Every structure is written in structure tokens, then in C-alpha cells.
Amino acid sequence: MGNRDRDVLFVDGVRVPFGRAGEKGMYWKTRADDLAVKTVRALLERNPSIPRDRYDDIAIAATTQQGDQGLTLGRSVGILAGLPDTVPGLAIDRMCSGAMTAATAMGSGIAFGAYDVAIAGGVEHMGHHPLGEGIDPNPRFVSEKLVSEDALNMGKTAERIHDRFPHLTRERSDRYAMRSQHKAAAAYEEGHIPPDLVPVALESESGWGLASRDETLRPDTDMATLATLSTPFRPHGRVTAGNASGLNDGATACILASSQAVKDFGLEPRMRMVQFAFAGVEPEIMGMGPIPSTEKALRRAGLTIDDIGLFELNEAFAVQVLAFLDHFGIEDDDPAVNRWGGAIAFGHPLASSGVRLMSQLSRQFEAHPEVRYGITALCVGLGQGGTVIWENLNWNGKKHSRAAATGSTPKKGRNK
């Protein structure tokens, strides 16, 4: 499992509360780069034992890198957050897996020995920069039938998964979405989410306020209400605003460090990066991407899906999570999956979401020493998936059985 001297350790992760995109959203008058700066400053303040000149690099991802979300984000955010001029930075774009790619890139540098401490994160202000704004897709994509026009519309790709797997019904998607909302509300009430939230001062017409909670939570969601929602991507379709993530603004950041840096600075890491993988699928069914990326990561790590005790899966659309669960023979309501809810409730500010998954998994590890391995995974536009396998540093050393730990009974995957 690698050279323990070059372990990649997740030390800390934070995010701002996620907001609704658009003029009515709480971050409409807040700059995108300032959201990223808030997260990095919080990390520096929460980890004062790390000298600021010892950070080797900072990678900040964004999908639409223009305006207040441009200018080589890692470098500009690092300077604005108070890192010394000697700390370099870069920007990354792999759409929804931007922050995940930032973390795996920085982690790779640590594993190789080029870095000791690095910051990785992402920001997406979809209110200022809607997905697809200013892009000019090459006409060859469609004229040469390299991809369908539907592949450039994420909602339509989700409808195609429903088409391909008719047993993934709207009712199943709605029920999954309802549970996501309820689990997120419970996680807030139980105090699991606030410890890693960074409050943001807000300017509005009525004066100044403070963002301290995700704006997209709908704890009263019920099946009857979900059934009334329209299907904007197709007449009589199955994807709705209720069983999909919304358009959101937000930022995340985390600290990754080598085992030697952890010793040198007296840090208390939460988990260890075991393996990661990215994979491609047909762009028209981009939501299937996490399946091959997870299979690849498991194969490279010498593990099986039964070794995984906790899952943090990004809920771009309920149907793509259900497709993943069916493929691996996991029940829709398995308590090992998104135990505290997911993006349908919290929001999905594209490039920032990967680190939210990591932070939530690391907190769950603390409460579940019986679980050794967990994964963070998400689908990516234009037909990709990303998966990172993590090891719980609080593992109690006992042999783990996901079925025994969660009380679930594995089922035979339908999509295999």
C-alpha cells in the first residue's frame, strides 16, 4: 500500500455555507475569489502550527475560469489569504471534480516527495458564472457525431440514465432525494456539519448579515410535494428540481500533508489517501462515470467494494447515485451511503464539491472506528467519474464487514 514515509494525509477541511445561485442567492454581492479566500484563511487560522512559508503549493479549482473566478485562482487566492509570496499556486478545471482533482494532484506531489504540505480546494459562483457561459463547443462534437447534443446538458444526461435503466424510476429518485434532505437536516441538528463551516459576512439591501447555514436545505421535503414538480429537461421526464442538485455558489479547501510534516508540526490528521482514479464513459450518460472510476481505484488498491464501509457520493442527480448503488449491489437506503445527506440537500457548486465529500467522510470516520475504508466519488461533465479511497486513521483494527456494521444485506447488482 505504498511507502508510509510518503503517506498522503488529510489534515483539515472547511467550506463556506453553500448558497443559491442568482440575484436572490445570498452570495450575489460576494466575489467568487473572496469565497475561496475565506476557506483558505480559515485553514491557516485553524492550523497555526504550520508555518505559512512551509506550504509548498495551493491548487484551487473552478469550472468557469473568468472574471472574479479567474486569474490563476490558486496563486491569487493564496496571496489574498495571507500566504507568503514564496508559496506558488495554480488553477485546475475538471468540472465537477475540480476540487477532487486539486486534492489528488497535491496528494501526488506529496507521495512523490515534491511537497510536504499543500492546500487544495475549489470554488464555483454559478450566479456570476453560469455553467457553459462564454464557451464555444467545437461544432465537430455534433457534426461528426462524436457526442450527442444532449451530452452538453447535464439534466438530459440524467434523463438518459433513466431511459437506459427503467427500474430506476422517478419514485425511487424522489424517495432517495427526500431521504437526502432529511439526513442533512438531522446532521445539522446533531451538530455534525457546523464544525467545518466558515461563516461569511453578507451584504444586502437591508444591511449586513452572516451566512452560517446552507441556503438550499429543505427539511420538510415529502414525497407528495416532490411528485408535483415539473420535469424541465423533457416533457413527462423524471428529473426534477427536487431529485437533483441545484445551481449553487460556494467554496471549499483542505490541507494535505506528508507523515513527516504531521510529525514536525504536531498535526492530527483525519484520514489517509489510499488510491484514486478517474475514468471516462459516454458523455451522454456522464452520471455513470463513478462506476468505472471506483472499479479502477478498488483494483489498484487491491480492495473490493465490500471493504468500503462509508460512501460519500456526490448527488448531482439522484438517478446517477442509484445507478452506482445498483451496480455495486448496495441498497438505496444503506446507512453507509451519504450518512449525513448529500448535494441534493447541501448544494453542488461544481468544482468545490469534492472537498465537501472529503470533509464529511473524515468526520464520519471519527465516529466509526469499526470502518477502515471509505470512498469519495462523483460524476463529471462530458462523461467522466472520479473516486478517491481513504483509510480511517481511527480504525480499531478489527476485520470490517459492511453488512454487519450497517445492518444491511448486500443485494445482487442489477447493472452488472
Active site residues: 96, 348, 379
* Residue in 5, 10, 11, 254 with CA at minimum distance from that of residue 112: 5
> Which DSSP string do the residues of 229-242 spell out, in sequence order?
---TTSTT-S--SS
Question: Angle 98-112/353-367 helices, nearest 10 degrees?
Answer: 70
DSSP string for 36-57: HHHHHHHHHHH-TTS-GGG--E
* Of 148, 126, 130, 63, the residue nearest 98 (C-alpha): 63
3-state DSSP assignment of residue 61: strand
By three-state DSSP, how is residue 258 classified?
strand
Give the three cell numbers for residue 295.
472499479
Cell of 133: 457561459
CB 329 within 8 A of CB 411: yes
Q: What b-and-e string marks burial along 378-391, b requiring 16 or more CB atoms within 10 Å of the CB?
A: bbbbbbbbbbbbbb
| Distance of alpha carbon 201 from alpha carbon 35, whole angstroms | 10
User: In Å, what is the CA distance from 208 to each residue of 26, 34, 41, 125, 235?
Assistant: 11, 16, 21, 20, 42
- CA atoms of 217 and 14, how far apart (whole Å): 18
Q: Are 395 and 372 in contact (CB under 8 A)?
A: yes
| Torsion angles phi and psi, residue 13, rounded to 5 | -145, 140
